[in-house]
Chain A
Amino acid sequence: MTAIVLAATVGALFALGTFLMLRRDLVRVVWGLALVGQAANLYLLTAGEIAPATHDAVPVLAGHGEVPETADPLVQALVLTAIVIGFGMTAFALVLSYRVYEEHGTLDLAEIGGREVSEGRERTRSDGGDRR
């Protein structure tokens, strides 16, 4: 059985997230990361069967006694962990971008990347010179 609706949602979120990750604006890249993370969580959830929201399907038991068919508790536990880790990652990425802005005075990745590369080249060249 496949879950075509959720598959389409996951696919769309992945596509949009990827598009954002390819932008020059660093903040937009972080958004892309966050979107892809959300989509991945949704994908994990679909790995267990999506149960319709009924009283029994919620993985909280009434107490001792008969255990009903519930939604898959394992994938829920995994997704819960993933959500929290995703939060940590987004917060870190965001603050890192802020730091990048402080250091370089810009959020333009094309500018920063180009600068790094030319600096790096010069460094290797001078290293090589020293060795010789």
Chain B
Amino acid sequence: MSPEPVVVFAAVSLPFVAALLMPLAFRLLGERTGYLAAGVSFLCFALLATQHGAEGVVSLAWIPSLGISLRFAVDGWAVLFALVASGMGVLVSIYSPAYLHGESGLARYYAALVAFLGSILGVALAADLIALFVFWELTSLCSFVLIGFHTEDDSSRYAARMSMLVTVGGGLFMLAGFLLLAQAAGDPASFDLAAMLAEPGPVRDSLREAGLFVPALALIAVGATTKSAQVPVHFWLPSAMAAPTPVSAFLHSATMVKVGVYLLGRLRPLLESPEWSLLFSALGLATMLVCAMLAVASTDVKELLAYSTASHLGLMVAGFGFASGYGAEAGVFHLLNHALFKAALFLIAGIVAHEAGTRELAELGGLRHELPFTAAITAVVALSMAGIPPFSGFYSKELLFNATVEAAGQIPGAIGWLYPAVAVLASVFTVLYSVRFLALFFGSRPDGLGHVTRPAPILLVSPAILGALTAVISVSPGIAIETVVRPAVDATVTEPREMPHVIPTSYSTAVGMSALAIGLGLAAYPFYGRFHRGIGGLSAAIPPVAATWWYDAAIDGLERAGRGLAARVQNGLLRTYATWTLGATCAIALAGFAAAGALSGTMVELEASIPIALVAAVAVVAAIAVVRSPSHVVGVLTLSIVGFMLAIVYILASAPDLALTQLVVETLVLLVFLLVIEEIPESAELPVPKFSEMALGRVGRDAVLSLAVGATAFVTVLVTTDARPEGASEIARYYAEQAVPEGGGTNIVNVVLVDFRAFDTMGELVVVAVAAISVLTLLVMRGRGEDA
């Protein structure tokens, strides 16, 4: 079955249209706008569900001259991710109105939320590298708006800026990587990702030949790892928890942070290689371990979940890193499981914070009495997170353990066994913090905890649905595997194979690893406080251990450098501004000419009659006199000489209209100058210092700059006139020939001004009118007390 273009385009564009209408809808519906957003998300979900099982590409021309089009590919992997995103959009939109009751800025919130849904669907379906990049950065922008939802809150703004810098910056690296891919894909560059994935061999070979395989891989990896919060750029994710909890559930656990993982799955058939495996399996496992440890050190419920999310993202990245089929299966299946259980956990954390009034882990506990239903859901999803059989997280983690064992077997020596060892160690910490989260409900109740209210029933709907789905996959993983996971895995591997049974029937190394991890985790739980303090104390004792320290240092340094530069370049003195601007312009222009090779071999020709040369010489002499003029009046009069000489040049250059205009304007300028100068007493004039008294250093500097500017202008005229085509240009001929038939006038310049380019002339008149009004304002308004 091939995809239905109308349906696919409708599914991606619908949220954007809805985003535009949200402010209007908010006026009509108020806080119930959330249900409208849920409706939009559900419509997208339904539209995409009809494409389940379809495979193929639909496209719409966008920038045909560059070979860029709005191309969407539908396959199992795209559909799985798009369904997860839109389904999560529905649940989060249902949850939001009750959670954000009474907050301001909700129109912006819902607009950003649905716009984000559109962007993420775009990422999921895009099969054109440029379209993919645009949607990718759009998700970062929406995330920026949503993290900064509390605009008046400093920490919220700080977090929004941090996530923006990290993810958008990473996206730019990815763009560079995409350009390398596009170069390798064909000549002229082709951005068609679907074609590359269909024929990965030639692209890979041409990248290898050019020696650009590793750079391209590294650049794309930067994009994917920043987005998916891998070590060492994992630090933005916990900060992003400044966002309202529904946003954390939607963007920062289930969807946006997964686009990095998604991209790895997408590009895996294209870039799969030993370098790929080494990079991503090592990076993923490192993240899995480091972030699981940091989760144990967390003091805040959402912080714990954020680190845990980064750790699970590491699991998926590692999965896609391993070359084996197990790896891809682990990545895909865990993406689904994690989206379900982690979003539920975030929504539960939101309920706890909402009802108990605190998110501090130390202040919470034993909530099962007040929140029995929430506690039941938590039990399912938290055990799934821990990877305890028979919950869903166990199955996908088993697949990863299998992948690590397989990879270890292929690497000679003991070093390969680092893979399984790190995976098990990370899982021990996973068990630890999962149990800690469960203790919020099942542990003992701290004395300080005040009255906990019952949540509104509507808040429980979304976590209950997620919990139920997790339970279904736990009981019968086959259903999910057959319907969505296997088609997705097929799209991310080069050689499709039969998906293994995930419910273990006999002992294997992977089962042993799970047992070891769970056993050690449970055994270590009584010492949780020690781990918690130990890991937390390490980063407090040595600040550079924490990644945020580096971020803050870099940003502070940038800000300081920026302030220093501004004080130097823009110090309030006009000459400083002029010096920097003119100097930079000259440098750039000359460098441009040099780079373009325009400076060599120009034919020097006079192209001016002797009269023109003489008159021009007089103009230059007059200009020198202006510079050396002892008083304002003398200077103004000599300045006029320059203008009138140029008028004569225009006459000699067959431009009578210019000469006329120049004469009129010159006369007017002279009058205006004299009128103004008359008002300024001579005492205000700055005396022109005698040459012997001049501050030689300053004058010398000015002279050097002036000569540089003059030389640049000279060279520019030479270079441009040298490049001028022979004879009259096409457009000049057109104007000359059409002046009479089209414009009905014999003076071609006049016809051009009032007919062919009449809009330019109108703009010019506007400029003169604005100048006149400004002059009037400046002169007249002073007496009337402008300040008042």
Chain A interface (Cβ within 8 Å of chain B)? 1-22, 24-25, 27-29, 31, 34-35, 38-39, 41-43, 45-54, 57-64, 67, 69-74, 76-77, 79-81, 83-92, 94-99, 101-102, 105-110, 113-114, 116-117, 120
Contacts and interface: CB of A to CB of B under 8 A. Distances in A.
A22 B581 CA distance: 12
Contacts of A14: 709-710, 712-714
Interface in B626-651: 626-627, 632, 635-636, 639, 642-643, 646, 649-651
B740 interface: yes
Given A83-B661, A85-B768, A59 B736 contact: yes
B610 to A, nearest CB: 9
Nearest to B573: A113
Given A16-B624, A38-B642, A76-B658, A109 B575 contact: yes
Interface of B: 571-575, 578-579, 582, 602-609, 612-613, 616-617, 619-620, 623-624, 626-627, 632, 635-636, 639, 642-643, 646, 649-658, 661-662, 665, 668-669, 672-673, 676-677, 679-680, 684-686, 702-703, 705-707, 709-714, 716-718, 720-722, 724, 728-729, 731-732, 735-737, 739-740, 746-749, 752-753, 757, 760-761, 764, 767-768, 770-772, 774-775, 778-779, 782
A81 to B, nearest CB: 5
A11 B714 contact: yes
A47 B702 contact: no
18 contacts: A2-B602, A14-B709, A14-B712, A15-B710, A18-B582, A53-B654, A60-B746, A60-B748, A61-B746, A72-B728, A74-B735, A83-B658, A84-B764, A89-B771, A97-B676, A101-B680, A107-B684, A117-B571
B731 A74 contact: yes
The 7 nearest A-B residue pairs measured at CB: A15-B710, A11-B714, A88-B771, A117-B572, A7-B717, A14-B713, A113-B573
A7 B620 contact: no
Contact of B654 (A57, A88, A92): A57
Interface of A is mostly: helix
Contact of A79 (B609, B656, B658, B729): B658
Nearest to A75: B732
Contact of B748 (A61, A99, A113, A120): A61
Interface of B is mostly: helix
Contacts, number: 307
A74 B680 CA distance: 41
Contacts of A94: 672-673, 676
B718 A74 contact: no
B616 to A, nearest CB: 4
Contacts of B747: 59-61
Nearest to A106: B684
A35 B669 CA distance: 12
A14 B757 CA distance: 29
B654 A81 contact: no
A102 to B, nearest CB: 6
A76 B657 contact: yes
B603 A1 contact: yes
A9 B243 CA distance: 63
Nearest to A24: B686
A1 B721 contact: yes
Chain B CB within 10 A, most for which of A59, A71, A109: A59
A6 to B, nearest CB: 6
Contact of A7 (B721, B737, B771): B721
B714 A3 contact: no
B605 A2 contact: yes
A10 B713 contact: yes
Contacts of A81: 753, 760-761, 764
Nearest to A12: B620
A113 B761 CA distance: 37
Contacts of B571: 113, 117
A46 B717 contact: yes
Given A109-B574, A113-B571, A117-B573, 13 more contacts: A2-B718, A11-B714, A13-B623, A13-B642, A15-B711, A18-B582, A18-B709, A25-B685, A59-B654, A77-B749, A77-B752, A89-B771, A96-B778
Chain A CB within 10 A, most for which of B606, B608, B655: B655
B8 to A, nearest CB: 48
A70 B650 CA distance: 14
A7 B518 CA distance: 83
A99 to B, nearest CB: 5
Contacts of A27: 632, 635, 677, 680, 685
Contacts of B718: 2-4, 7
Nearest to A4: B604
Contacts of B636: 31
B778 A59 contact: no
Nearest to A11: B714
Contact of A35 (B642, B657, B661, B768): B642
A19 B627 contact: yes
A83 B628 CA distance: 25
Given A50-B607, A107-B685, A85 B767 contact: yes
B721 A46 contact: yes
A92 B774 contact: yes
B649 A3 contact: no
Contact of B605 (A4, A64, A77, A114): A4
A4 to B, nearest CB: 5
A13 B607 CA distance: 19
B578 A47 contact: no
Contact of B720 (A47, A59, A91): A47
B775 to A, nearest CB: 5
Given A2-B721, A50-B653, A22 B579 contact: yes
A51 B782 CA distance: 49
A116 to B, nearest CB: 5
Contact of A54 (B649, B654, B716, B735): B654
A3 B735 contact: no
A3 B607 contact: yes
A80 B736 contact: no
Given A2-B603, A47-B724, A81-B753, A34 B661 contact: no
A42 B643 CA distance: 11
Nearest to A88: B771
A38 B356 CA distance: 74
Contact of B657 (A4, A52, A80, A92): A80
A120 B768 CA distance: 33
Nearest to B746: A61
A21 B612 CA distance: 27
A71 B613 CA distance: 18
Chain B CB within 10 A, most for which of A11, A57, A89: A11
Contacts of A108: 686
Contacts of A16: 620, 623-624, 626-627, 706, 710
A34 B83 CA distance: 65
A99 B775 CA distance: 10
B746 A53 contact: no
A59 B749 contact: yes
Given A34-B669, A92-B775, A80 B643 contact: no
Contact of A73 (B623, B650, B736): B736
A87 B665 contact: yes
Given A59-B749, A102-B782, A109-B575, A43 B650 contact: no
B657 A22 contact: no
Contacts of B710: 11-12, 14-16, 18
Contacts of A79: 655, 658
Nearest to B757: A77
Given A3-B607, A47-B721, A81-B761, A98 B574 contact: no
B749 A3 contact: no
Given A1-B603, A4-B606, A15-B709, A50 B662 contact: no
Nearest to A29: B574
A132 to B, nearest CB: 12
Contacts of B668: 87, 91
A81 B728 CA distance: 21
B416 to A, nearest CB: 57
